[in-house]
Amino acid sequence: MSNLFPTYQRWSIQPLEAKGAWMTSTENKKYLDFTSGIGVLNLGHRHQKIEEAVIEQLNKYWHISNLFPQSIQEEVAKLLCDASGLDYVFFANSGAEANEAAIKLARKATGRSKIVTCLQSFHGRTFATMAATGQEKVRNGYGKMLESFSYCAFNHVEDLYKNVDEETAAIMIEIVQGEGGVHPATEEFLQAVQSVAKKFGALLIVDEIQTGIGRTGKTFAFQHFQIKPDIITVAKGLGNGLPIGAMLGRKEWKEVFGPGSHGSTFGGNPVSLAAAKAVLSIVTSKDFLEGVIDKGEYMKSELQNRLKGQSTIKEVRGLGLMIGIELTEQAAPYLEALQKEGLLTLVAGPNVLRLLPPLTVTREEMDCAISKICEILIHFEKTALTS
Ligand SMILES: Cc1ncc(COP(=O)(O)O)c(C=O)c1O
């Protein structure tokens, strides 16, 4: 009997230990982990530099409260600002909390309350971020939602224009919809988002919680495009497994969050920040990011070539090491078959097999995963064809 709320559909694999791209179960089976803790372990499990930085901070102090100035907060804020071109940082503990901060900042800065997001988006599970999420299944059963959110079709410029007006505080988007099925935004859509936001004086919020910290081959995914967000949010990969979120904004809104207006007991925790500082020192390097682009291109093109012509494959797409294989049928049975073969993957929506390998993945590990995926997808198709 479990005393946990049955919030999650758990897998049957119990983790024992993990290092790099590999996880060993309590049954002593080794798995190649292409889930990265759902896009968190961008540098793999227990990266040595991160582990050392965390241990060093553990030996100093673990928590002290935001009553005290802390140099580690200043250092990480500077690294984030230098890497993004934004000016100020608020530290939170999770993605949803970072998005809450973004929504609050946009509402207070503009004096407006309407926020436009996209259908199939995912922004979190708190009351505001659930309302921001453009998926009915996430909001189901919770009664009346927080007002003033509206949803436009992703990559649909005309629908966007219909939703934005002079009452809009912000438009909030993902550059690649992760949970919604690994759908990259088009340049045309992003340009339209930026120009319509500017036209009506609304802020542009980019949710980089899944796409940020090198995942797509840039420190932040918006940097693939010619756009200048007013606010970005990050979490997941920032702490490489230690809980942290951050909201970054431009200097124009420095005074919006004055003392007493917003805050968090644990936000800016020094242990998580020690991890974040070490993560950023690695992930923001040009060579590292170019490596991610090369690896992403390699995986995507290998999968596209080897799976070409298979009737169960609709599309292989993605950006950097955020890859989705859209199937013509449910992805869950394939995920289970891959688990039996020792490869951990994710689904995004009912039909998309999602791959989020660590950015440190090696060519051999990618080849191993690609072979397993192709074997399973093609084998399943053969079974389907002969039955
Ligand atoms: C794009 C995006 N935004 C927000 C969130 C919510 O983050 P968290 O689960 O840390 O609250 C997620 C989580 O999957 C996400 O992918």
Locate the domains of the chain by residue range. Answer: 19-47+286-386, 48-283
Each as own residue / partner, the long-range contacts of residues 27-30 (CB below 8 Å, 24 or more positions apart, any chain) are 29/342, 30/342
Can you list the residues of the chain whose pLDDT is less than 50? Answer: 387
C-beta separation of 332 from 354 below 8 A:
no
103 lines ligand 1 (CB under 6 A): no
Cα 334 from Cα 307, distance rounded (Å): 14
C-beta separation of 183 from 323 below 8 A:
no
Cα 342 from Cα 339, distance rounded (Å): 5
Cα 315 from Cα 183, distance rounded (Å): 11
CATH number of 19-47+286-386, picked from 1.10.490.10, 3.90.1200.10, 3.90.1150.10, 1.10.3660.10 = 3.90.1150.10
- Residue 255 DSSP symbol: T
Distance from residue 366's CA to the centre of ligand 1 (Å): 26
Please, what is the angle between helix 286-307 and helix 363-386, to 10°? 20
- On the CB side of 266, CA atoms within 13 Å amount to 10
Question: What pLDDT, on the 0 to 100 scale, is given for residue 384?
Answer: 55
Question: What pLDDT, on the 0 to 100 scale, is given for residue 53?
Answer: 98
Question: What pLDDT, on the 0 to 100 scale, is given for residue 379?
Answer: 84
100 lines ligand 1 (CB under 6 A): no
| Integer CA distances (angstroms), 199 to 102, 124, 164, 196, 204, in order | 20, 28, 10, 5, 12
pLDDT tens, 125-163?
Answer: 999 999 999 999 999 999 999 989 999 999 999 999 999
Distance from residue 359's CA to the centre of ligand 1 (Å): 19
- DSSP helix/strand/coil, 233: strand
211 lines ligand 1 (CB under 6 A): no
Q: Please say whether the structural domain 48-283 has been given the CATH code 3.50.50.60.
A: no
- On the CB side of 128, CA atoms within 13 Å amount to 18
Question: What pLDDT, on the 0 to 100 scale, is given for residue 382?
Answer: 55
Q: Is 99 exposed, middle or buried (0-12, 13-18, 19+ CB in 10 A)?
A: buried
Question: What pLDDT, on the 0 to 100 scale, is given for residue 380?
Answer: 74
